[in-house]
């Protein structure tokens, strides 16, 4: 007998019919002799609807009240799922975040979990009851309802799994696992049987939407065995997120290719090549609360240089404004140029640590396709390049092929 935490996302509980299907799947695991805790999201589209509704009332909604509203979606699905389970003859009981209780800090709309009181859940499990817990929500010290940020149910599930020291946390979603890249871009993309936590973290931060990044961090920290599976298929082992120590099953050097169009590039041209210039440019950007991702500065010629960096595309105009108003004259830049038609393509793999030549293979592959690389950044297990957005799909396909990711291994 194992203690299993299952999490079902919005599409998996999107209709009454689908909720009944989730109940059937849970019943199957229960019949196999396991103890089950099920964490659910709101029905798909519901959280968006609630947030939009709040905005109709108040342009900049009060954060505490916004969480009161946003958290209701999950309260609906826990009740419905508990009913569906009862209908199948199981004992079931739902809990809101406050009832469990999932204690968080008081940062409304992006709260962090502090602790989970797992004793009521344990009591129910011991009595053979399936426990259904609302994802995405918690309660602060003063009893205020909080939410964990978009996609937060993944984190709820992992946190519950960690608190219960469960044998496995299964994330059921609309894809059947983690893929080498997005199959909509590369039809040959393969499901990975395993991926390491580090790789998953990189992929999540680089644009893969399969798991909320905080859930992965949490699972890594508390060594929760995490698996991504499809809620629309009956069989299938999904993708297991492993700790590197046990990761000898899949030997590929590169595990996946992530990409995103969320960034924009800004170049500050003709600035003096002397101490304080990077600070003079990026200081005001930081003060404006704009996150910077990649940065490059060229070697100076005649004491002058250019500095380029990327920001989130949503903050591009704001960043340009800061530079033009506060920076340009101050540091005597000759020009400020922006480009919001770029994308970032990244290859990720722990195998990079022990294999040479990955970077040169990446650059050669892009060169052969005639794709100009505008910026490069690397970490121990990742190489990212910024290229023109119109070449994104071509680059992803070419790299996917070059690294043999379409070949089963």
CB of 153 to Mg ion, least distance (A): 6
By beta-carbon proximity to ligand ASP, the closer residue of 107 and 269 is 107
Residue of the chain from 6, 9, 189, 229 that contacts Mg ion (CB under 5 A) = 9
Stretch of 124-132, 146-154, 201-209, 356-364 lying at the interface with ligand ASP (CB under 6 A): 146-154
CB of 154 to Mg ion, least distance (A): 6
135 binds Mg ion (CB under 5 A): no
What is the three-class DSSP state of 199?
Answer: helix
173 binds ligand ASP (CB under 6 A): no
Closest by CA to 147, choosing from 53, 219, 73, is 73
Residue 166 binds which of Mg ion, ligand ASP, none (CB < 5-8 A, kind-dependent): none
Crossing angle for the helix pair 72-87 and 16-31, to the nearest 10 degrees = 60
73 binds ligand ASP (CB under 6 A): yes
- Which helix (H) or strand (E) segment is 329 a member of? helix 328-331
CA–CA gap between residue 257 and residue 192 (Å, rounded)? 12
151 binds Mg ion (CB under 5 A): yes
Strand ranges across the sheet with 3-8:
92-95, 130-134, 35-40, 3-8, 168-173, 226-230, 239-242, 194-196
Site of tokens 């509704």: 53
Query: Please, how many CA atoms are within 13 Å of residue 106, restricted to the half-sphere of its CB?
Result: 5
Stretch of 8-16, 71-79, 156-164, 278-286 lying at the interface with Mg ion (CB under 5 A): 8-16
Residue 136 binds which of Mg ion, ligand ASP, none (CB < 5-8 A, kind-dependent): ligand ASP
By beta-carbon proximity to ligand ASP, the closer residue of 71 and 239 is 71
Residue of the chain from 8, 108, 136, 391 that contacts ligand ASP (CB under 6 A) = 136
CA–CA gap between residue 399 and residue 364 (Å, rounded)? 10
73 binds Mg ion (CB under 5 A): no
The overall longest dimension of the chain from CA atoms, in Å, is 80
Distances (CA, A) of 268 to 77, 292, 294, 311: 50, 14, 14, 13
Residue 97 binds which of Mg ion, ligand ASP, none (CB < 5-8 A, kind-dependent): none
135 binds ligand ASP (CB under 6 A): yes
Stretch of 150-158, 166-174, 296-304, 383-391 lying at the interface with ligand ASP (CB under 6 A): 150-158
Q: Alpha helices of 191-315 — where are they, by DSSP H?
A: 197-205, 213-221, 277-287
- Name which of residues 8 to 37 contact ligand ASP (CB under 6 A): 9-10
> Mask of contacts with ligand ASP, 77-116, x by CB under 6 A?
----------------------------------------
241's CB contacts (< 8 A; 6+ apart) are 178, 194, 195, 196, 197, 200, 216, 219, 225, 226, 227, 228
Residue of the chain from 42, 81, 139, 290 that contacts ligand ASP (CB under 6 A) = 42
CB of 9 to Mg ion, least distance (A): 4
Crossing angle for the helix pair 72-87 and 63-70, to the nearest 10 degrees = 20
Q: Do 396 and 185 touch, CB atoms closer than 8 A?
A: yes
152 binds Mg ion (CB under 5 A): no
Q: How many residues bind ligand ASP (CB under 6 A)?
A: 13
Stretch of 151-159, 226-234, 319-327, 355-363 lying at the interface with ligand ASP (CB under 6 A): 151-159
Strands (E), 21-175: 35-40, 92-95, 102-104, 113-116, 130-134, 137-139, 145-147, 168-173
CB of 147 to ligand ASP, least distance (A): 8
Q: How far apart are the first and last CA of the chain?
A: 32
Interface with ligand ASP (CB under 6 A): 9-10, 41-42, 47, 73, 135-136, 150-154
Interface with Mg ion (CB under 5 A): 9, 151
């Amino acid at each position: 007998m194992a203690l299993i935490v299952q999490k079902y996302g919005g599409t998996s509980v999107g209709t009454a019919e689908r909720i009944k299907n989730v109940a059937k799947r849970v019943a199957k695991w229960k019949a196999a002799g396991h103890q089950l805790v099920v964490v659910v999201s709101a029905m798909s589209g519901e959280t968006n609807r609630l947030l939009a509704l709040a905005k109709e009332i108040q342009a900049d909604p009060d954060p505490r009240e916004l969480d009161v509203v946003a958290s209701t979606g999950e309260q609906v699905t826990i009740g419905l799922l508990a009913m569906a389970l009862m209908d199948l003859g199981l004992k079931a009981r739902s809990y809101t975040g406050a009832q469990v209780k999932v204690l968080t800090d008081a940062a409304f709309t992006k709260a962090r979990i502090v602790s989970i009181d797992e004793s009521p859940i344990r009591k129910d499990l011991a009595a053979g009851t399936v426990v259904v817990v609302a994802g995405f929500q918690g309660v602060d010290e003063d009893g205020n309802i909080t939410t964990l940020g978009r996609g937060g149910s993944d984190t709820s599930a992992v946190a519950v799994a960690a608190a219960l020291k469960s044998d496995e946390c299964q994330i059921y979603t609309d894809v059947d696992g983690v893929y080498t890249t997005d199959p909509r871009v590369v039809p040959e993309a393969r499901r990975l049987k395993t991926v390491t936590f580090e790789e998953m973290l990189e992929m999540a931060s680089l644009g893969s939407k399969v798991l909320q990044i905080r859930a992965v961090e949490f699972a890594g920290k508390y060594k929760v065995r995490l698996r991504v599976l499809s809620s629309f298929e009956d069989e299938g082992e999904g993708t297991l997120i492993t700790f590197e120590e046990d990761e000898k099953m899949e030997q590929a050097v590169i595990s996946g290719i992530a990409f995103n169009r969320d960034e924009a590039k800004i170049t500050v041209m003709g600035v003096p090549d002397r101490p304080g210039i990077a600070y003079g440019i990026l200081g005001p950007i930081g003060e404006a609360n704009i996150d910077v991702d990649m940065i490059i500065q060229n070697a100076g010629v005649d004491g002058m240089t250019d500095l380029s960096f990327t920001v989130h595309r949503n903050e591009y105009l704001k960043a340009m404004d800061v530079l033009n108003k506060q920076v340009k004259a101050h540091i005597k830049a000759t020009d400020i140029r922006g480009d919001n038609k770029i994308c970032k393509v990244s290859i990720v793999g722990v195998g990079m640590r022990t294999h040479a030549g990955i970077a040169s293979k990446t650059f050669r592959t892009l060169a052969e396709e005639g794709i100009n690389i505008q910026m490069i950044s690397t970490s121990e297990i990742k190489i990212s390049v910024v290229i023109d957005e119109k070449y994104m799909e071509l680059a992803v396909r070419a790299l996917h092929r070059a690294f043999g990711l379409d070949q089963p291994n």
